[in-house]
Amino acid sequence: MRKVLFNLHLYLALFIGLFVVIVGVTGGIMAFEEDIDRFSNPKLFKVEPHGEPLSAAGMLAAAARAYPGQKIGTVRLPQGPEDSAVFNVRGRQMFLNPYTGESLGSRDPRTWLSRIHQLHLNLLIGPSGKPVVVAITGVLLFLVISGIYLWWPGKRATIAWAANWRRIQFDVHNTVGIYSAAFLLMLGLTGVVIHFDDDIEQGLHRMAGTAKIGKNTPSVPQAGAAQITPDQAIEFALAAMPGTKPLSVSVPPNSKGSYLVALRYPEDLTPGGRSWANVDQFSGKIVSFQNSRTVAGGTRTIILNRAIHTGDIFGYLTKILMSLSALMLVVQAITGYLMWWKKLRAKEFQDQPARVSESVA
């Protein structure tokens, strides 16, 4: 049994290990995707605070002036005094100074970070790549579990730096693997759940007798009623979920649509937040909403699973731990390959005298 597992562990790692490393490393980078993006593009994301920022309606009006004739439906609101406001205009991202209404520039959203994101999700081959990534994640889970089994008899968790190079490689492979195993298992399991999270969520709701909350519930048209402003919609949403902070607001696309206000509680460290409200554009009534604190268990489970997978659950501490564990796959791959290569060369060297003897005879 042990020999079979060893061979499976070895050859799966040799043939599929590169893809496992790609998925792991890209995931490790994605944990800090927003931070890296902001750091590498300060002219787009950072502004000098100056007085009071514009209202949401003021930001939308400034964006409309900067891009006349273009439909601008959503504004991502600044989350700090030095943050810009972000819009999407005809497939491009636009950045706006929230104090002056000045355009800071625009860009194609298909950045190198977005490509890394897609590489992680589907290996850059579109929807057909998603099941491939799930299969690769399954191989990762097998490698971790089989690695623990193979490590268990010796239980080596230290590195003998004074030993020969081959022993150091062996110790590094074992030590790095066992310390990152629990985190890699969490990343793998939560990643598989994310792939099937719609079905899992619906199943959990059926078991509990609950239902998933529908988004974008329409408004109720009222004759002669004026549309409320984006800022009023935000106020109604905040009143419905006290303690939240608004992340973005989307204006109704037509006379039947409703405002969509994305919200975040202080404990929700996910950049996009997990709470939202649809606000009737005429009455200001909350026509549907999701409160991450009170939502049904099925949806809350999916929210928690995603927060664990991305490392957002406890902020930078878990992001760093998850990211380092994913990046340690590179060390695992290199040391594993080197050990296999040295073993292969040693076997060839041992077989060489026998081949020479046969040729002489």
pLDDT at residue number 361? 45
Q: How far is CA 353 from the centre of its chain?
A: 54
**CA angle in degrees (0–180, nearest 5) for 199-204-314:** 90
The beta strands (E) that lie in 90-227 are given as 92-96, 103-107
Asked whether the beta carbons of 177 and 333 are under 8 A apart, the reply is: no
pTM: 0.87
Domain ranges of the chain: 15-33+113-205+320-353, 46-112, 213-295
DSSP secondary-structure letter at 46? B
CATH of 213-295, one of 3.90.320, 3.40.50, 1.10.10, 3.10.450: 3.10.450
Per-residue pLDDT of the chain (361 residues; tens, 9 = 90+): 888 989 899 999 999 989 999 999 999 999 999 999 999 999 999 999 989 999 999 999 999 998 888 888 899 999 999 999 999 988 899 999 999 999 999 999 999 999 999 999 999 999 999 999 999 999 999 999 999 999 998 888 899 999 988 889 999 999 999 999 999 999 999 999 999 999 999 999 999 999 999 999 999 988 888 999 999 999 999 999 999 999 999 999 998 999 999 999 999 988 888 999 999 999 999 999 999 999 999 999 999 999 999 999 999 999 999 999 999 999 999 999 988 888 777 776 666 555 544 444 4
Residue 21 burial by Cβ neighbours in a 10 Å radius (0-12, 13-18, 19+): buried
